[in-house]
Amino acid sequence: MQQRVGLARGLANDPDVLLMDEAFSALDPLIRKDMQDELLELQSKMKKTIVFITHDLNEALRIGDQIALMKDGSIVQIGSPEEILMQPANKYVERFVEDVDLSKVLTASHVMVKAETITLEKGPRVALQFMRDRGVSSLYVVDKGMRLLGVITADDASNAIKNGLKLEEAMDREAPTAVPETLLHELFELMSNSRFPVSITDESGRLKGIVIKGAVLAALSGNSLLEVGDQHESA
């Protein structure tokens, strides 16, 4: 409660810039996380510029839009959390971030790749031809507004042709979905329990991309996002 009162007192004068010097360092982990959540919620509402000083890199990555790393009184790198993690400026920064759990920092939007799509009116024969032409084994079925309807595999399309079924009757409607802001560690269970990559959709259900296991493994191993994309293209 003292920290909450301190934060309220700091905001009472409506300052242009709020300086918080290791504000949560003395708190236990659960309360610290709650305070971080409250700070993020306040920031989303009040749109204040906050300079937050911390020695906890995980805290900086969680709440910071831009991070400045200092060594011996000098700034060695300024960048977004993604840039700090994926493009360290020197060996010092590399050592500083080497123990960070990337799965709790990177989101689905960082690793998602383009999905191969088809609309319902095309039918299973066209779907099968699309898969042959594009060298893939499944397509994501969308409406004309790019809203996700389901997934059709090559086997499903072949069976639909044999049995005279429409695309909507043969597609799988239970493919896992997540929003772009979903952290990678929250995708693990979805990926392990499905035969399909995780579909990434926005709040309106429009398909933004897919997350494949190879892209997640590449990102967690420290490969750049460009390399992740290249791996998908060659898959």
- Which residue did the predictor score with more confidence, 146 or 104? 146
2-100 classified as CATH 3.40.1050.10? no
Residue 38 pLDDT: 86
Average pLDDT across the chain, whole number: 86
Residue 231 pLDDT: 40
Using DSSP's 3-state secondary structure scheme, residue 27 falls into coil
pTM, whole model, 2 decimals? Answer: 0.68
Identify whether the C-beta of residue 36 lies closer than 8 Å to the C-beta of residue 61: no
Q: Answer whether residue 1 shows pLDDT above 70.
A: no
Alpha-carbon gap, residue 16 to 77, rounded angstroms = 25
Q: Answer whether residue 234 shows pLDDT above 60.
A: no
Residue 91 pLDDT: 93
Q: Answer whether residue 233 shows pLDDT above 50.
A: no
Provide the CATH topology of domain 109-234. CBS-domain (3.10.580)
First to last CA, the chain: 53
Domains of the chain, by residue range, sit at 2-100, 109-234
Q: Answer whether residue 228 shows pLDDT above 50.
A: no
Residue 225 pLDDT: 45
